[in-house]
Amino acid sequence: MSQTTDQGRGRTIGSSRGKKDAKSPTGSYRSNVPAPPRRRRPALTALAVLLIVGGAALAGLLAVRMDSREPVLVAGTQIATGQKITAGMLKQTNVSGDGLNSIPVDQVDQIDGKLYARQTIYKGQLLQNDLLRKNPPLEVDQAQVGVPLSSGKYPPGLRSGDAVRLVRIGDTQRPSQALATGLVILVTRGDSGGFGSDAKSSVATIIVPQSVSDQIVGATGTDELALALIGRGVSVDDAEVTDLSGGNGGASSGGND
């Protein structure tokens, strides 16, 4: 009787221990408890969808714009300030984009021999309406003079579009005199390596006031003229072409279109 009771107690205790062994250290049952559901983040999901849709739309827009490129005119060579533009100076390229103020290729006949460069247009530069003018660079009170570029009497790297001050060099009996301000429209590079009459000097073509052109030519002939650089990249319209000799010519600036 006593042995039977002890055996019953043993089975009860063993069964109880078996149940405890199936529990976690905290006494809860792991195998029967479902895992907590993952939290969903609808905001991140929506953002990802928007990014995908936006990227696809942008790619489509770029593809459309690439397909909508149009042929326009560019400078095939450097065009000097005030120079008449011909079709042979121009090339075409394909561009896309709004607000470039570019000139379509089919309008080349409206430019060929009819318009002038308002300022220096460099090779490969997009031809734009604001770079062109209808009238030649000379006004009625202006003149073009050719000035040989003697060593030491002009700034290095002189080029089209440079604003200059023309000065007659003085001597012990006569001080130097400022004659005018002008605009360089062309520099023709010569061969400085020769000697004597075979040597070709570089020449700058400069717009000056007509009232002082004779004095400038005279100073050039006696090799008494020097140039001082006072501005770069100046357009015909913005150039200050001024008589500084005290004559009656006064000042004149670049003309209208």
Which amino acid does the sequence have at 89? M
CB 114 within 8 A of CB 135: no
- The verdict on 196 and 100 lying in the same domain is no
| pTM assigned to the model | 0.62
Number of domains observed in the structure of the chain: 2
Residue 12: CB atoms within 10 A of its CB come to: 10
Separation in Å, CA 213 to CA 145, 216, 236? 7, 5, 18
> What is the domain-level CATH number for residue 83?
3.90.1210.10
The residue range of the domain holding 179 is 142-253
Question: How many residues appear in the chain?
Answer: 257
- At 195, is the pLDDT very low, low, confident or very high (cuts 50, 70, 90)? very low
Give 52 or 65, the one with higher predicted confidence: 52
- Distance (Å, rounded) from C-alpha 58 to C-alpha 66? 12
Say what the pLDDT of residue 108 is.
92
- The verdict on 99 and 161 lying in the same domain is no
- The verdict on 96 and 164 lying in the same domain is no
Is 50 exceeded by the pLDDT of residue 198?
A: no
- The verdict on 172 and 234 lying in the same domain is yes
pLDDT tens column, 108-143: 999 999 999 998 999 999 999 999 999 888 888 999
